[in-house]
Homo-oligomer: A and B are copies of this chain.
Amino acid sequence: MVRAQLGSLAAQSSSARQTVAPQPVGQHRVVIVGGGFGGLYAAQSLKHVPVQVTLVDRRNFHLFQPLLYQVATGWLSPANIASTLRAVLRRQKNAAVLLAEVTDINPVGKRIIYRGGDLSYDSLIVATGSTHHYFGHDEWEKFAPGLKSIEDATEMRRRIFNAFETAERAITTPEEVQAWLTFVIVGGGPTGVELAGALADIAKRTLTHDFRRIDPATARILLLEAAPRILTAYPEELSRKAQKFLEDLGITVRAGTAVTDVRDGEVAVKQGERAEVISAQTVLWAAGVQASALGKALARSAGAVLDRSGRVAVQRDFSLESHPEIFVIGDLAAYAPAGEKPLPGLAPAAQQAGRYVARVIESRLAGKTPPQFRYRDRGSMAIVGRATAIADLRGFHLAGFIAWLAWLFVHLMQIVEFENRVLVLIQWGWFYFRRSRAARLITGKSNG
């Protein structure tokens, strides 16, 4: 009974509700799992297509992930980078939102299974992205939180600011103080680099004058990267410049350094043959990324092929070979057609895939041949400390202040809701001119 009702979630209007006109039952049902860049753009692109769209997510908001590190470092509030999915889609009459955690997919019965019910589809778009992982060492997570969700970000924020508080309060030996003032960031990709730069700014600028016994500026910040250089996705020249920028901020960048163990208050590393143990009370994880577990569900039930990181191999139109009515987009998809560069795991790539898949569904319903997908590479950028960034714009390289301005503009314009855009802009301005980090609350677990 639950199933029957929910199967027509978007089609029915409840008897108590007068404002939404009932839609024709029997219309093509598109179910989208995941309200990130891929899923949300797919839903919006289906606005004028005669289908019923149901967007399913376990969270009630779309998260602007590129700014998550700014929440983790007390600059923005969670709500500034989150837009409730219902608010974004409220005017889209053919779309419904379902807050539910999808646990499995039944491609034969054409149903998704979630905790408490299931939902039928004619076309399915899976866009559940990726999560951080610990290379088989899940026990490290306790000591080295990653950064994928709002809760991750407020937990990181709690740990960062609590470390300074503990150093000020609980001093017994200078070694203990040093361990509380040592921050290790594992992973030299964009997230790791951004976190390291923000931490340096916190220690050297935000907290000046705030403490009486410790000097926050003496904090040690280490950025560890297993590969021979940081920012491996960028050209070597930009990666070198980024490292220089970070070192100018006092950050110790250690490329070619692999983490072998993370324990309470310690990180064990290996650089070449040299093993070493670093005393650090705060370890932030910005290393491994693993595709969402729904990839495995698709492999099991729909015969999908997974790559090494658990991503689902898709065809040129993002559908599964075995089930052309199932599409996979975003970070969960391994899109690498023969003779082409693999699609990168970036927000614009997910957005373009979302828009494209909507067009494929529209074409199929109209009996037309869908167009070819063409990725428009608009480049990629990363923040490297305050007022500094690097940008790789299709071979055109920028580094420093200009790149930072470009970063600001591009990211500000991409934030979904106008209200958030204004609030973020104000907080950035304040931050820039007054070194303010208003959102540095220690919340959540007790600091006992």
Question: A interface vs B, CB < 8 Å?
Answer: 1-2, 5-6, 9-10, 12-14, 16-20, 58-61, 77-80, 82-84, 86-87, 90-91, 96-101, 115-117, 150-151, 161-162, 165, 168-172, 207-215, 218, 417, 419-420, 422-423, 426-427, 430, 434, 436, 438-444, 446-448
Contacts and interface: CB of A to CB of B under 8 A. Distances in A.
Contacts of A172: 1-2
B212 A101 contact: no
Contacts of A1: 172
B117 A170 contact: yes
Among A59, A151, A213, which residue has the most Cβ atoms of chain B within 10 A? A213
A216 to B, nearest CB: 9
A59 to B, nearest CB: 7
Nearest to A20: B212
A208 B10 CA distance: 16
A213 B14 contact: yes
Contacts of A90: 209-210
Does more than half of chain A's interface fall in helix, strand or loop, or is it mixed?
Answer: loop
21 contacts: A2-B171, A2-B172, A5-B171, A6-B169, A10-B212, A13-B213, A17-B212, A17-B213, A60-B442, A79-B439, A83-B438, A84-B441, A86-B207, A97-B210, A99-B169, A99-B442, A116-B169, A150-B443, A419-B427, A419-B436, A423-B427
Contacts of A97: 210
A78 B253 CA distance: 34
Contacts of A171: 2, 5
A213 B151 CA distance: 30
Nearest to A58: B447
A213 B19 CA distance: 11
B212 A96 contact: yes
Contact of A209 (B12, B91, B423): B91
B438 A420 contact: yes
B420 A423 contact: no
Chain B CB within 10 A, most for which of A14, A117, A218, A420: A14
A214 B14 contact: yes
Contacts of A168: 98-99
A441 B161 contact: no
Contacts of A420: 438
A86 B211 contact: yes
Contacts of A212: 9-10, 12-14, 17, 20, 96
A263 B290 CA distance: 42
A278 to B, nearest CB: 20
Contact of A77 (B78, B98, B101): B78
A215 to B, nearest CB: 4
Contact of A116 (B83, B170, B430, B439): B170
B441 A79 contact: yes
A3 to B, nearest CB: 12
A8 to B, nearest CB: 10
A169 to B, nearest CB: 6
Nearest to A439: B79
Nearest to A165: B99
Given A423-B423, A423-B427, A16 B215 contact: yes
A441 B13 contact: no
A383 B172 CA distance: 50
Nearest to A210: B86
A279 B367 CA distance: 52
Contacts of A417: 438
A174 to B, nearest CB: 9
Contacts of A215: 14, 16-19
Nearest to A19: B209
Nearest to A87: B210
Given A169-B100, A210-B87, A210-B90, A438 B426 contact: no
